[in-house]
Structure 1
């Protein structure tokens, strides 16, 4: 956005009303906020870098030189790598080894991390140092970039070697794998390879020894426990036998019947007899009951209807003979008379058969009675013997309580002894089978190329560090220096609206009498004049003060050219040299500073305004010089005389432009600014103000003045490409 457009926007925004001062302050506030909210300005950043380009190049050069120096003085380091595989379970050799529980997830990760910690342990480093005799090898210490102290003891040398091993060792656990890398760094490639391989070998051997030592301890422990268990078993058996003899208890559990059924077998001879007799008594009682039942049936039934009689072979034979005789007798009676001798003989034979059957059935019935009596006697005899053995068994059971206790002790001791003996045999067999869960995967080789110094990385880091330092330098320089190098800095650093940009020009172009209306200087001040006219909806401020933070910023030249720009457009303009201490405007116009009395005489009321106003040779432009220097300029410029003078002159002129003194170290500019309608702040581009411009702007704003904005003078558009095209143009 150009200066004209910015100013027009501020003017349009203030049409809503309000005082002139409020409108100007509000426009300056929003312009400053717009500048802050605009995001990163790469063009301004590039300008800052360009202004500090030689410093940046020097910093980058020093950074690269430092990187090269580091590369030159850093000794080369070689890195050897060996790798081992760490399994969770060992390979079984005999098949009787205990199976370790399978770990998963976080437990397995902790297991692998434990193995890494073992590799990094001081104990393993000391083992490697001992196996390679590094404490007695000065070449190893030299290869590690160190040396033994004079007169160092063996203990100190061993401790130093161990520290060097731990310091230069790195263990890397590959992700999603059971492979562990052993990495050792040394200045000597052969030493790096030797140490890495020694770490691998000693770690594997140490793992085997730890397992073997565990087995040895188990064997010794089991041997001690086995001897104690054997002694306890012998003692308990001896005590059991002594008590059995004293109590006259005979253990029958080792007999043939007990061997067939050890759980149900009796434990003493008396008990065994009782069991056998009881079984015989039960069988006899069953037989008795069966015999009585058969006799009861036989006693109430016909002889020839008894099942026992019918089942008798002799009875069956007689029944068949009787049937034949009955059939023969029936045939004879049909042919012969009943008294016939043949019939009588056949009847006699049939009667004889019937008598034999009856006698035989009676004998069978009598045998059933004898069987019943015999079964009863046997049952009674067995019942008496069982009753006697019951009394003996009950007496024996009282004595068996202590026997059973001793027997259980013997059984427990025997089971413990058998288990320990079996485990001892297994551990003894496993002791000779050295199964290991760690195996070597890759052995270290002599590294061909050093891993340090890394030339490319060091140079890139040096360059990055140089860029960072350069950025900090540029940032600090820009923050500490409030120089207005870019016109946009006016809003960013001083929070002033940009009213115009005046390019840097030769002194001949600054001669207002010889300057062309088409020159860049004239065009720039015409732009400033337009911005002032559009700065308020109330029209052009009738009185305008130009001031700066210090001398030499183009304040006086700007006042002259701005007054000339107003005169060129037909406005009656009065230019007043308000710098009573070091006036210079009269020399630019070719008049004496006290001609006509000047400003100091007017304020002291020693001359009239008509005599003090001088022509300049330019149409519509008049001039009042500063006059003779007063003894107290600040007192003269303060109060009512200046206000009264300006009010009296406003009737004769359209605009009054006052060239005031610098703000810092003087109260003159503040006094003048409080009497005029508006103030314009002039800042020279590229000059180091060291906070003076900010302080001056705060003083002017703090006095409740109408600060229109600022004009940047002596701007060199060539410092950054595009600035000249952005803020101005020239005629070709």
Structure 2
């Protein structure tokens, strides 16, 4: 809730109220700032500014312009670089040298010129004051070479300090400004800077060109020596390795490798085929009949012819055996012929097997030969590649050295041609003239700045202090931020006699007494039934003025004809018995602890005001106040009095006030101006609302109401009090 309240927009009247409340601070800060601005303006030495306008462009040599050169020569940092060069120490020293300021400087600043008398020289010797040029005032003739260099550097530093360069928007025109206490000196330096700048650029160009030419010439000689050495190494290597024939050989070797690889694959395939036949016939060696089952042998034409002849011989023997016996010459001859054919068959099979073995051995030997030839060609190819790689490396080294040497020679020729070209084109558009009026101090501007700054600082400080101050000060702001009505505001009481607790009794015509009457009126009109039957007066923190409000409000109600019972419910730090100078031996604590009520009610000087003191401080105040005996006591007292007012301890310090607020028909929360903070008041209100206590409203105590405050007309009763006194006197 508090956070949402704090986030509400402040009205313009709230700002004006803060300024009005702290108007003394605003006026004091305003006057201090304005006076400081005036004194600073009067004490400031006038400064004069002279301006030279120059046009600066990047120079381009026409001999070297080609298509697109304008684009390639664009430099986004060119103008910024030239500005820094103009402001450099080198340009400033050239101005000093060009104008011979060591001779004419004191003509423009005669007050800095050292005196020549004995006493003046002694004063200069023991003086620690430095001149504007940054060195001690001493005649140039009396300076040592080191001191003179330092003095000239000081003048150059003064020139740099007063020099500024600013471009004119969307142009290559620059303003060279120089500020000095002497207007003629300002114009002199402004005009001299442009010439010194272009001379310095030429000097820098010449120096850099000389250095570049010397370096490139030296590098060209080194590269020429390297080129000669590389060419010698290349020639020697070519002669040693016959590089001329190697190139031809490199062209033939790949074809040879391809041919041998193809032959090797064919030989390997042939060898595997012969090996398979050989292994097959090797297993049946000595078995002619089994050998004929091998396709390579069975397919032989000679063996097929022998097999046919054997078949015919066997057939003839079978036919002759039907005619002749085994020993018949014809049978013997036929058997001999068959045996001769079978022998011949065995011999043919053996020859075929041997032929297969020979084919296998031949194919294996051929494969081995081709493999060795392939390996030899590969080795030769690798050696050729290595030699050619080395040759390529040497040739590239020669070509690289040749290119470097040629490039250096071209650069040397270009540097020689551009050695004396101007790097920057500069034209003086407008010379500086002697300024007639100073640029500083600007009296009107400084005064206006002092006024504006004084107002801003004063108002800002007022708002800042108000932001840091979280204490309650404004009744209107209290109602806006806390959402609770302010029933009354009591003014601050500065007098010692009478005490503030007895203002209604002994100072009834004062503004403070009138504020309590106004609070009484607000209390009587708080509801349609009139004043509440019982009223608890509490606060968030101690020192808010609960006892003061309770005693004076009770007296104000008796003056309105009400019978009032004033009870001291603060059983921890009671004060009512001291205010009315009554005994506190018996009181509320003794009654609630079980004592008799005979001496509970004590009379006061006012017949309509009865007092119940707190009694001795008990060890358990909260338990006594929450007892039923206290409820019965309040019920009895309500029958005999029009209103019961109870003074109580602070809400945030203990639980007593929370207990009491549940037993009284209304609760009045007191806050003290510039003491109670909004956070404390908000916490107290939340505590009362959490227990649903009947909160009637707030009372702001000890408010310093000043004439001119936005709430002055509503809560100030000073004029009314005077008016009443005048009527009484009349």
Match for 1:116 among 73, 80, 83?
83
Judge conservation of contact 2:30–2:458 (CA < 8 Å) in 1. yes
**Is 1:173 paired with 2:167?**
yes
Judge conservation of contact 1:74–1:453 (CA < 8 Å) in 2. yes
1:145-294 to structure 2, matched below 5 A, reads: 145-149=132-136, 152-207=146-201
Question: What is aligned with 1:602?
Answer: 591
Task: Figure out how many residues of one structure are paired with residues of the other and give that number.
Answer: 490
1:641-652 to structure 2, matched below 5 A, reads: 644-650=629-635
Q: CA RMSD in A?
A: 5.6
1:132-147 to structure 2, matched below 5 A, reads: 132-134=99-101, 139=106, 145-147=132-134
Distance 1:558 1:630, change over 3 A: closer
**How far does residue 195 in structure 1 lie from its aligned partner after superposition?**
0.9
User: Cα deviation per residue 1:291-315 (whole Å; 9 max; x = unaligned)?
Assistant: xxxxxxxxxxxxxxxxxxxxxxxxx
**How far does residue 186 in structure 1 lie from its aligned partner after superposition?**
1.3
Distance 1:563 1:520, change over 3 A: closer
Question: What is aligned with 1:557?
Answer: 549
Mapped partners of 1:682, 1:104: distance in 2: 82
User: Cα deviation per residue 1:632-684 (whole Å; 9 max; x = unaligned)?
Assistant: 25745653576632343235528864442563998696586476456432124
Mapped partners of 1:662, 1:47: distance in 2: 34
Distance 1:496 1:551, change over 3 A: farther
**Is 1:680 paired with 2:668?**
yes
Question: What is aligned with 1:546?
Answer: 538
Mapped partners of 2:216, 2:653: distance in 1: 105
Match for 1:575 among 559, 566, 590?
566
Which secondary structure does the structure 2 equivalent of 1:453 belong to?
A: coil
Mapped partners of 2:49, 2:67: distance in 1: 36
User: Cα deviation per residue 1:258-299 (whole Å; 9 max; x = unaligned)?
Assistant: xxxxxxxxxxxxxxxxxxxxxxxxxxxxxxxxxxxxxxxxxx
**Is 1:448 paired with 2:436?**
yes
Q: Which region of structure 1 is more displaced relative to structure 2, 451-460 or 555-564?
A: 555-564
Mapped partners of 2:538, 2:485: distance in 1: 14
Judge conservation of contact 2:602–2:612 (CA < 8 Å) in 1. no
Which secondary structure does the structure 2 equivalent of 1:87 belong to?
A: strand
Question: What is aligned with 1:125?
Answer: 92
**Is 1:526 paired with 2:551?**
no
Which secondary structure does the structure 1 equivalent of 2:475 belong to?
A: coil
**How far does residue 477 in structure 1 lie from its aligned partner after superposition?**
3.9
**Is 1:46 paired with 2:31?**
no
Mapped partners of 1:676, 1:112: distance in 2: 86
Q: Which region of structure 1 is more displaced relative to structure 2, 70-79 or 554-563?
A: 554-563
Distance 1:168 1:519, change over 3 A: closer
Mapped partners of 1:159, 1:121: distance in 2: 12
Question: What is aligned with 1:500?
Answer: 487
Match for 2:650 among 651, 663, 677?
663
**How far does residue 183 in structure 1 lie from its aligned partner after superposition?**
0.7
Considering only CA atoms, is the larger Rg found in Structure 1 or Structure 2?
1
Distance 1:211 1:615, change over 3 A: closer
User: Cα deviation per residue 1:520-577 (whole Å; 9 max; x = unaligned)?
Assistant: 6534433345558899xxx97855233474457365335653796699799x864323
**How far does residue 86 in structure 1 lie from its aligned partner after superposition?**
1.8
Question: What is aligned with 2:45?
Answer: 75
Mapped partners of 2:597, 2:44: distance in 1: 86
**How far does residue 87 in structure 1 lie from its aligned partner after superposition?**
3.3
Question: What is aligned with 2:56?
Answer: 86
Mapped partners of 1:719, 1:478: distance in 2: 19
Mapped partners of 1:634, 1:60: distance in 2: 58
User: Cα deviation per residue 1:447-497 (whole Å; 9 max; x = unaligned)?
Assistant: 11111223233334434443454345434543554543211454688x573
Mapped partners of 1:157, 1:534: distance in 2: 96
Mapped partners of 1:198, 1:167: distance in 2: 16
Which secondary structure does the structure 1 equivalent of 2:191 belong to?
A: helix
Distance 1:520 1:626, change over 3 A: closer
Mapped partners of 1:534, 1:195: distance in 2: 93
Distance 1:595 1:216, change over 3 A: closer
Mapped partners of 2:54, 2:19: distance in 1: 55
Distance 1:432 1:634, change over 3 A: closer
Which secondary structure does the structure 2 equivalent of 1:85 belong to?
A: strand
Mapped partners of 1:137, 1:707: distance in 2: 93
Distance 1:672 1:197, change over 3 A: same
Match for 2:33 among 63, 86, 91?
63
Which secondary structure does the structure 2 equivalent of 1:497 belong to?
A: coil
Mapped partners of 1:204, 1:723: distance in 2: 74
Question: What is aligned with 2:304?
Answer: none
Distance 1:218 1:163, change over 3 A: closer
Distance 1:478 1:529, change over 3 A: farther
Distance 1:585 1:707, change over 3 A: farther
Mapped partners of 2:475, 2:73: distance in 1: 64
Question: What is aligned with 1:14?
Answer: none
Distance 1:695 1:546, change over 3 A: closer
- Unmatched runs of 5 consecutive residues or more in structure 2: 114-130, 139-143, 219-405, 494-499, 724-730
Question: What is aligned with 2:425?
Answer: 437
**How far does residue 694 in structure 1 lie from its aligned partner after superposition?**
5.9
**How far does residue 174 in structure 1 lie from its aligned partner after superposition?**
0.8
Judge conservation of contact 1:52–1:474 (CA < 8 Å) in 2. yes
Mapped partners of 2:72, 2:645: distance in 1: 86
Mapped partners of 1:472, 1:218: distance in 2: 63
Mapped partners of 1:435, 1:640: distance in 2: 100
Judge conservation of contact 2:537–2:546 (CA < 8 Å) in 1. no
Distance 1:100 1:614, change over 3 A: farther
Mapped partners of 1:567, 1:454: distance in 2: 70
Question: What is aligned with 1:16?
Answer: none
Which secondary structure does the structure 2 equivalent of 1:639 belong to?
A: helix
- Unmatched runs of 5 consecutive residues or more in structure 1: 1-28, 225-415
User: Cα deviation per residue 1:177-216 (whole Å; 9 max; x = unaligned)?
Assistant: 1111101111111111111100012224445666788999
